[in-house]
Structure 1
């Protein structure tokens, strides 16, 4: 019987070093998953805010009360313009705009409608409208959209 004289194998130190290296690589890759989950949640919140801002814009564009308010420039019940305080609103105050504030879901909604039409003709006039969604603390704008209200 012939014995194998040259038996090469893996030592215990080599096994431990490979386990340590694989653990470091594994832990660095695993740190990406919570970050991806956080980014995913932020993107979902942003998409929801964009949809809410568009919904508010469409509701204000189609509202007969808003159109009546713009035509008559009288105070209509439910549509009372406010003068935003600099610390409270992200809009810089301008006398050429009507300002409105409301809430929708978990957002504070700031609405600005231009008092004077952008385009005027015998048939209709359009006023620009800006919708901003702010977080509950009014610290930053989550979403903003623009459009026009046709009288």
Structure 2
């Protein structure tokens, strides 16, 4: 019988070492992809709150007049906010803009005087109920 002098191939030790090295490398990449997915989801929630806030601002600019503010006891006859500042909850904001916000986010508005500019300032705050860190604020003004 003839014996083989040269046998090519990998030993079991070499195969196991290569598997271990590949698993270490893939594990580090997996951690990167997991963090990336979490970051993308957080940014999606933040973008949703910003878009909802901008939608509310646009609706206020289009639909809210001084007369509406007077009828809802937000401003007096001279155009000044009653008690200096008024905070509106989501139901009051939706009533004021005559439209539902169309989202699951908590919407609040703070109305204050800006006497130097003869304007009424609306500060719109949109918060994700699932996470208090996802909050967006934006501003708009209405002439008195």
TM-score normalised by the chain length of structure 1: 0.66
- 2:86 aligned residue: 98
User: Is residue 126 of structure 2 the alignment partner of residue 133 of structure 1?
Assistant: yes
RMSD over aligned Cα atoms: 2.8
Match of 1:68 in 2: 67
Higher relative contact order (CA 8 A, sep 6+): 2
Pick closer, same or farther for the CA change 1:140–1:7 going to 2, 3 Å: closer
Choose the corresponding residue for 2:112, options 111, 114, 135: 114
Distance 1:112 1:131 in 2: 7
Q: Is the 8 A contact 1:101 1:111 kept in 2?
A: yes
1:33 alignment counterpart: 33
Provide Cα deviations, 1:55-105, integer angstroms capped at 9, x if missing partner: 1012112224x42144xxx4x2xx366xxxxxxxxxxxxx42121111631
* Structure 1 SS opposite 2:57: helix
Aligned length: 124
Distance 1:142 1:130 in 2: 13
Q: Structure 2: 5+ residue runs without aligned partners?
A: 75-82, 92-100
Secondary structure of 1:119's aligned partner: coil
Q: TM-score, normalised by structure 2?
A: 0.69
Could you list the runs of 5+ residues in structure 1 that have no partner in the other structure?
A: 82-94, 121-125
The structure richer in helix per residue is 2
What is the SS of the residue equivalent to 1:41? helix
